[in-house]
Structure 1
């Protein structure tokens, strides 16, 4: 079987490739590679029927691969899909992919790549910061070491969703990209962080607050005297889950965002 199309995503976007293959009613396998990562999209008579990348399958894989603005691709005709993981129409997928492609353009102005690593920023205003639960989940995993891709895998979310959240948190001044994460050292939180955490949490949950905080510190495998800055947001997220009242939980989290940023 001869390859009829091959090239680089920097010259021809994945969206344009799929539009061309779909319009030509082509059948076969489209291979996409970016460094050590790879993905496959299968078409049957111009319709997208299956997509796979790592352990992920289906429509969302197509959107994830759309975020790869660099890499190599090759199309091999007449290769049958091993299974069908896509049930929505190709037209619908391409429309959504076009919408996301526009958003990726904005996101890439802030994220150098999905391998980028971020830290909580100490600059900017916190007066209007109010995070949704999913945003807190992402923020809790940002430690100056994990990449966007690693956070997505950890939370079982797609790269686009995590990248969009990090983009929002960064433009709000909450985060900044780490340019040299390999040389990052283990920063220890200041005791004032725990003092504020105990006060704010006890105000909401009562005198049992400090006990819950100490238990969560142990569950994270750390001790208070040498607690790493990289796990501070995760600790806040874990103890906040003990607050059953969603309004009070949101208020507590908002207070702690300011504390986390110093």
Structure 2
């Protein structure tokens, strides 16, 4: 029988703690009515839990995953033709071999963090929890549920301060005509925000560059406004579509790779990397292109660069790196990489490749021994 009730009697924070402690899997649906015109949050939220961990949150209003995917250049049907729920779209991408899925998971994590803070502000409404199987692919959205609740509680406490300075996350930070006199000091996050302000991008668009949530970036902007080094304006014009260029190039490169047009895929991936050399997924994709071309040493170098820029990729990429090293004849190094992959619970075929490599090395040693004799 589904668990149901009223938020006025069982607040969302308490309800989530119960579900987390009991390691529940399913979807928690929260609904409320009679929203004020000023509120940005939606009137329906869906929280997907897997073994007691929040994996993704859908919110009816506000920025949607489809908008982010469209900006990344991901092909989507027109809005009026989309029938699948947002969660289905996310799972479909995460279960695919699309090289953008890691980037999509990062955006899904950010959306989940923002939406949790907004949902925790709801004091009234109804809820129902339905136990169900939640796809394992959502594990790619690496959300720490306890940290999520802590951030959400802090979001509530600090929201009034932020909302008094920013009418929404869509306002545009820009520089004032004159700066205040006297010395100023900034935190590292404030310096990064200052370097990203261009008078065109909104608070939300600036936050998309950083690992922190939009709310944390908004707090840094509020601090800079209070120090007199920034001011905010309502958006007057639509910003130029610059950021999505990299993702469109990678998507086109993926299509070329699927068609086995390797030279074109390499050219497009190289262009994407030139625009954003820090993007780990671009290095990873170029490694895949090189591997398909038989350029195994170049592929190995790109795999290593991708992991250097994003260490969280290592458990999944070590196996592919080992394959490239084997194909280039670097057997001993490949063996070490495979042992590391197995120790960290990496690719399921790592043990199989290690066994084959051990047999190959043994045969080579026997051959060398007989040759010496």
Query: When the two structures are superposed, what TM-score results if normalisation uses the length of structure 1?
Result: 0.50
* Larger helix share, 1 or 2: 2
Larger radius of gyration: 2
RCO higher in structure (CA 8 A, sep ≥6) = 1
Query: When the two structures are superposed, what TM-score results if normalisation uses the length of structure 2?
Result: 0.37
